[in-house]
Amino acid sequence: MAVYTDVGEAELVEFLSGYDLGQVLSYKGIAEGVENSNFLLRTSADTFILTLYEKRVDRNDLPFFLGLMQYLAEHGLSCPLPVQRRDGEALGELAGRPGAIFTFLEGMGARRPSPANCRAVGAAMARLHEIGRGFSMHRANGLAMTAWRPLFRSCPDRVDEVEAGLSAEIEAELCEIEASWPQGLPSGVIHADLFTDNVFFLNGELSGIIDFYFACNDLLAYDIAITLTAWCFEADGSFNMTKGAALLNGYQSVRPMTEAEVEALPILCRGAAMRFLLTRLYDWLTVPDGSFVMKKDPREYLRKLRFHRSVTRAGEYGYSPSGGRA
């Protein structure tokens, strides 16, 4: 349940007095999400999303996130647009937290993505990468490859309780990833959390992308690796090459990958699986049972990591050099 901060009606009315959004009709907490508190807000003007930023989001990063959403929306990517107050600011303070209001996006995440969904998300991600070239703000990736070992070290000494031998497996894997991580690939603005719950579909068409709170500057192909890892495995843990090909072809229909990116895809996928294995592992071992923070199973990403370790070339993900070309 992602409502960590309660909002009283009087303080909400006071907060809204800075906007031209009419009268509050209703507001209710949204269960989905992990990081922040989100409310569905209906006013006499329209329906909106009210987000209160919780402790895990650094408030110094908020201008980057809000600025990026505004820039992408203004350049044709469907994503929430931060609503400005009368004084021109989009960020305010509510219930002791930084807060902002966003336009509401219609649609729902694909629970079991089809190859067509995968193609659409690949193309949308490439559009995001292309549009992002013109965005002038910069944010280093706080969860970049160099942050994984310190994150692993900060996990309590109970990693092997999750699975026997896990600590040694992660240690060995980190050494290989660190030694083989690619240098000099094209970089730019990436979403970095393009999971199925963050991409909405309406009537079979991709209607928008949400949740830019891990967005940062990093390797574009690392974003492809994250998305491929999130979208193209089945519930039984098997990789679906049809979906992989669809996602990569969709991406390449907008932005062809360079040869170096294609070659690096297997190691980037190992990194992507490691990043989500570690954040999930940390939460699994540190967040108390019964807490509001939704813990996700780290073993899902351990299985994905093991698959990626067996891959030697991008063709095994469904990549084909002509992919995306008409």
Ligand X SMILES: N[C@@H](CCOP(=O)(O)O)C(=O)O
Which positions touch ligand ADP (CB under 6 A)? 2, 30, 32-36, 38, 49, 80, 102, 104-105, 197-198, 210-211, 213
Beta strands in the chain (DSSP E): 24-29, 37-43, 47-52, 92-94, 97-103, 108-109, 187-190, 199-202, 205-209, 216-219
User: Which of ligand X, ligand ADP, none binds 102 (CB below 5-8 Å, type-dependent)?
Assistant: ligand ADP
Question: Per CB under 6 A, does 227 bind ligand X?
Answer: no
Stretch in the footprint of ligand X (CB under 6 A) among 8-16, 27-35, 97-105, 171-179: 27-35
Can you state the percent helix, strand and coil of the chain, rounding each to 5? Answer: 45, 15, 40
Minimum distance between the CB of residue 2 and ligand X, rounded to whole angstroms? 8
Rounded Cα gap, residues 161 and 163, in angstroms: 5
Contact between 27 and ligand X per CB under 6 A? no
Nearer to ligand X, 195 or 307 (CB): 195
Smaller CB separation from ligand X, 190 or 314 = 190
**Could you say which residues in the range 34-63 bind ligand X, by CB under 6 A?**
34-35
- CA–CA distance, 245 with 243 (Å, rounded to integer): 5
- Work out how close the CB of 200 gets to ligand X at its nearest, in angstroms, rounded to a whole number: 13
Instruction: Please list every residue from 258 through 317 that binds ligand X, using CB under 6 A.
Output: 276, 279-280, 296
| Residue 223 interacting entry, from ligand ADP, ligand X, none, C-beta within 5 to 8 Å by type | none
Q: Which of 260, 253, 192, 198 is nearest to 224 (CA)?
A: 192
Residue 80: contacted member of ligand X, ligand ADP, none (CB under 5 to 8 Å, by partner type): ligand ADP
Pick 34 or 94: Cβ nearer ligand ADP:
34
Q: 102 vs 319, which CB is nearer to ligand ADP?
A: 102
63 with 137: CB under 8 angstroms? yes
Which residues, listed in sequence order, are joined to residue 5 by a DSSP beta bridge?
none
Provide CB contacts within 8 A for 107, sequence distance 6+: 200, 201, 202, 207, 208
Q: Which of 195, 293, 307, 309 binds ligand X (CB under 6 A)?
A: 195
DSSP conformation class of 233: B
Contact positions toward ligand X, by CB under 6 A?
Answer: 33-35, 193, 195, 197-198, 211, 276, 279-280, 296
